[in-house]
Homo-oligomer: A and B are copies of this chain.
């Protein structure tokens, strides 16, 4: 049996997150086998992601919902493998319940704006006093110390703008390039999971828990800083080179008769193959293209040759021809094709998304856990819970509360 369980089996996580960045962190932890108890505010319909159009309904996707079972696509993707319990953290009676749960938890993850958990009395200082081994992970726009820019609203586009990432695409003088992939929202949770797991290793060894503080801006900027772009520019290696990368020529994206493709042929032998592929074996030995330095010098001509050859040919022929000549080549796929890649689906790196009542809606795919363990499991196939679906079971199992006590809490507006 242990072969089918995730490596975090047995770990209990209290999940205070909403929107995208926080829930993606706890989604990954759930996919690794932790028990994730999502604590939602009952007074506003729970996590705001539950109110994001579109919804999956009995009749398929719809921009509006009309049935209590209808669930937003956002929640269907981000809520998988989690339990949901309601708890109104603004109600005075909620704090003891929360701290009683925290006593039995291994990890808490939250993405409130900096300062909010302190006001609610559920910040790390409040929790450590009842559970010193607990890991308390915070994801915020700029870090736990508070705001650095403007009013601190850390929406993805704001983080992209500040991080420099928008200026790594396009050509010199082009406007900034906003990524549709919300990298500002997605990179921070990955670092939050890394920090959380490292802290768990430390806690398992020493018994010492701690606060793990991750900034969206810091996370994305650290990734941008993996390549020292401005140092490279200072020695003449420009960053914004559009579709082509002249310093690696032939290298970039080109158009075929029926779609775009990328080739990456930076070495002499790849470049030689590329010239033969486009019926220019006559140029294969030419001094203009025989060395990297020569190709860099003649990059425009070389890229034009390829572009002209490819423009009138069908994609299949283009791909086949470059492959036959040993040149790394791939079609540029749109997201719809990419998430349906046979191997990616087979490896569960992308998985079909399932509604708890209505099943799988054709075409609805979501992120899997892109790690294959030889021994442990990794799974994100469990449908997202309805709001508060597990309130009673969590309170009964973890706190030993009986039905009348739970009913009273519900009547009092605590749950």
Q: A interface vs B, CB < 8 Å?
A: 2, 6-11, 20, 24, 28, 32, 53-54, 61-63, 73, 77, 124, 142-145, 148-151, 153, 155, 157-158, 160-170, 175-183, 186-187, 190-195, 197-202, 204-206, 208-215, 217-219, 221-237, 239-243, 245, 251-253, 255, 260-262, 264, 319, 322-323, 326, 328-339, 341-344, 347, 349-350, 353, 361, 363-376
CA distance A162 to B204 in the complex (A): 40
B54–A319 CB distance below 8 A: no
Q: Which of B150, B162, B186, B332 contacts A338 (CB 8 A)?
A: B162
Q: Which of B6, B323, B371 contacts A212 (CB 8 A)?
A: B371
The oligomer's copy count stands at 2
A32–B198 CB distance below 8 A: yes
Secondary structure at the A interface, as helix, strand, loop or mixed, is mixed
CA distance A408 to B221 in the complex (A): 46
B339–A230 CB distance below 8 A: yes
CA distance A157 to B102 in the complex (A): 45
A61–B175 CB distance below 8 A: no
Residues A373 and B195 in contact in the complex (CB < 8 Å), given A150-B319, A335-B167, A341-B221? yes
- Complex contacts, A341 vs chain B, CB 8 Å: 148, 162, 217, 221
Smallest CB-CB separation from A177: which chain B residue? B169
A-B CB proximity, top 4 nearest: A164-B338, A168-B180, A218-B349, A195-B371
CA distance A20 to B61 in the complex (A): 41
Smallest CB-CB separation from A238: which chain B residue? B180
B168–A179 CB distance below 8 A: yes
Provide 19 A-B residue pairs closer than 8 Å at the C-beta atoms, listed in order of the A residue: A150-B319, A150-B323, A150-B328, A150-B329, A158-B330, A164-B335, A169-B179, A176-B262, A178-B262, A180-B241, A182-B227, A197-B197, A201-B201, A209-B375, A225-B365, A225-B366, A228-B364, A230-B336, A230-B363
- Complex contacts, A73 vs chain B, CB 8 Å: 228, 231-232
- Complex contacts, A329 vs chain B, CB 8 Å: 150, 158
> A106: shortest Cβ distance to chain B, in Å?
10
Q: Which of B178, B187, B193, B260 contacts A242 (CB 8 A)?
A: B178
Residues A199 and B350 in contact in the complex (CB < 8 Å), given A163-B333, A224-B181? no
Smallest CB-CB separation from A154: which chain B residue? B328
- Complex contacts, A148 vs chain B, CB 8 Å: 341-343
CA distance A371 to B193 in the complex (A): 10
A366–B190 CB distance below 8 A: no
A54–B218 CB distance below 8 A: no
> A204: shortest Cβ distance to chain B, in Å?
6
- Complex contacts, A234 vs chain B, CB 8 Å: 61, 363
> A223: shortest Cβ distance to chain B, in Å?
6
B328–A218 CB distance below 8 A: no
Smallest CB-CB separation from A339: which chain B residue? B225
Residues A231 and B54 in contact in the complex (CB < 8 Å), given A191-B190, A215-B370, A366-B226? yes
- Complex contacts, A53 vs chain B, CB 8 Å: 235
- Complex contacts, A197 vs chain B, CB 8 Å: 194, 197-198, 200-201
Q: Which of B155, B180, B333, B375 contacts A161 (CB 8 A)?
A: B333
